[in-house]
Amino acid sequence: MDKQFKDYNFKDFILEKLEENHIITPTKIQSETFLLTLKGKDVIGKAKTGTGKTLAYLLPMIEKIDPSKRELQMLVLAPSRELSLQIKREAELITKGTNILVEAVVEGIKLEKQLEKLKKKPQLIVATPGKLVQIIGLKKIKMHNVKIIALDEVDQILEQGLRDKIFAVVNKTLKDRQLLSFSATISKEAKEILNKLMKEPVFVNLDHVEPIPSKIEHQYIITKKLKKTETLVEILKNVKPKKSLIFINNNQNVDRFVKELKSEGFSVGGIQTRTKNQERQHLLTSFNKGKLKILVTTDLFTRGMNFQEVSHIFNMDLPLNQTDYLHRAGRTGRMDREGVVINIIRDREKFILYKMMKSLNIKVIPIVIRNGKLIPVQEIINRKKVTNKNYDYKR
């Protein structure tokens, strides 16, 4: 019988908040790592997107916080402002109504405002490494009482050249602190760094588990339209997705896609490198709350992000590698929900798509638009076979 959250002896308020938020059963990465983390082991957790990695480390961290002590006890390092704020929101879902304070230390917020919030002495801080090192340098954060540090998506942190910042932060804590790392990918460099920082880490690798949820359906449509957006608009008008993410590879094309979709009357926004932090946060909040139905973006802004109830993913450009395909697909079908990934491609791209799907062991279904409906090509073939059989029989 599968274990339940109560089997891990979490505090009552944690169990109550999980139930309130309809989080019923631990995911595989959670059930495999909870006991290790609660026992004080250093843990490296590797699992695909959408598998519940954030709560895998947050719940044991919150469990170990002493609410009576107004001091920093738990620290999470994340690669981006957006991911940090998302992790903060997830933590606050669990700590709401308690004496546990959670704060974020990230770029894009005035330093004075952040320092003012730190005066309240939060027990849990979610931070980007660069900003945290800056504030540590100002002697505004005391690190000697930190019990656990969690690294979220360590590969992305390293990709930004923040290796020295990780060491700087960890070295400010006492040697008996616990270190956790949870991510979808772990490079050779990341393994080397983690092994240097950790004490006999336990490696939990769930790559053998299905790479993406089985309830996600993967489809492709070959478009002969002048612009791929014409086919996209046709699909959107007929399928009417609850909420969609549209991926393109070129950052400069985001605004053009948004403009074209807005002209067709869609509720759409776009995020790219020139989008200001405040506007970016507004768009993400509007999208997660369902006020915005479509978000156009690139791979840069979505890795590790938990978008709420996304029903459809549209790949206008095929991703540059398999990992990015998994990250894109993982934005839907989260926590055992259904989802659809639709690749809008040219005929010449079919070979690339099939090669990628074969490597990922994903079945991809060709579809066409007929009378305003998306129909699998195989269904049309089957209908023709039946029609031909009936014709031959009558003859």
- Three-class SS of residue 112? helix
Choosing from 205, 238, 261, the residue where a domain stops is 205
192 and 223 both lie in a single domain? no
Strands 373-376 and 364-370: antiparallel
In a domain, 328, yes or no: yes
In this structure, the answer to whether residues 188 and 229 fall within a common structural domain is no
Dihedral sign of CA atoms 259, 263, 264, 267 in order: positive
Per-residue pLDDT at 78: 93
Torsion angle of alpha carbons 225, 231, 233, 239, nearest 10°? 160
202 secondary structure, DSSP code: E
Q: Please check whether residue 113 lies inside any domain of the structure.
A: yes
- DSSP states of 164-181: HHHHHHHTTS-TT-EEEE
Range of the domain at 81: 5-205
Closest CA to 284 of 141, 118, 88, 144: 88
Per-residue buried b or exposed e for 31-63, using 16+ beta carbons within 10 Å of the residue's own CB: bbbbebbeeebbbbbbbbbbbbbbbbbbbbbbb
Query: 77: closest CA among 135, 147, 150?
Result: 150
Query: Per the domain annotation, does 152 fall within a domain?
Result: yes
* Residues 194 and 242 grouped into a single domain: no
* 266 shares its domain with 163: no
Q: Is the domain of 23 the same as that of 135? A: yes
In a domain? residue 394? no
Indicate if 133 and 245 belong to the same structural domain. Answer: no
82 and 230 both lie in a single domain: no
The confidence score (pLDDT) of residue 232 equals 95
Check whether residue 188 and residue 228 sit in a common domain: no
Last residue of a domain, one of 143, 172, 205: 205
Question: What distance separates the 2 farthest-apart alpha carbons in the chain?
Answer: 91
In whole angstroms, what is the distance from residue 182 CA to residue 194 CA?
A: 11
Specify if 43 maps to a domain: yes
Distance between CA atoms of 169 and 360, rounded to whole angstroms? 37
CATH code of the domain covering residue 198: 3.40.50.300
- For residues 270 and 300, is the Cβ–Cβ distance under 8 A? no
Q: Does one domain contain both 44 and 149?
A: yes
**Pairing outcome for strands 74-77 and 148-152:** parallel
SS3 of residue 370 by DSSP: strand
User: Beta strand pairing status for 148-152 and 178-183?
Assistant: parallel
**Cβ atoms 299, 317 nearer than 8 A:** no
Within a domain: 395: no
Q: Give the tens place of pLDDT for each residue, 289-327.
A: 889 999 999 887 666 677 878 999 999 999 887 778 888
Q: Which residues contact 190 (CB under 8 A, 6 or more apart)?
A: 154, 155, 158, 181, 183
pTM as predicted: 0.69
pLDDT at 304: 63
pLDDT of residue 247: 95
Residues 293 and 259 in one domain: yes
Q: Is 28 domain-assigned?
A: yes
Residues 6+ apart with CB under 8 A from 336: 213, 215
pLDDT in tens, 179-216: 999 998 888 889 999 999 999 999 999 876 555 666 88
108 located within any domain: yes
Residue 264 sits at the vertex; the CA angle it makes with 263 and 266, to the nearest 5 degrees, is: 100
Separation in Å, CA 105 to CA 140, 163, 192: 12, 18, 27
Across the strands, what pairs with 221? 344
Sort 174 into a burial class: Cβ within 10 Å, 0-12 / 13-18 / 19+. Answer: exposed
Spell 138-165 as b/e; 16+ CB within 10 A means b: eeebebeebbbbbbbbbbbbbeeebeeb
pLDDT at 209: 57
Q: How many domains does the chain have?
A: 2
Report the pLDDT value the prediction gives residue 323, as an integer from 0 to 100: 74
Cβ proximity of 281 and 85 under 8 Å: yes
Domain boundary residue, one of 176, 205, 234: 205
> In which residue ranges of the chain is pLDDT below 70?
1-2, 50, 208-214, 301-304, 334-336, 383-395
pLDDT of 105 reads 94
Domain co-membership, 23 together with 106: yes
- Bridge-based pairing state of the strands 364-370 and 339-345: unpaired
pLDDT for the residue 12: 95
For residues 196 and 221, membership in a common domain is answered with: no
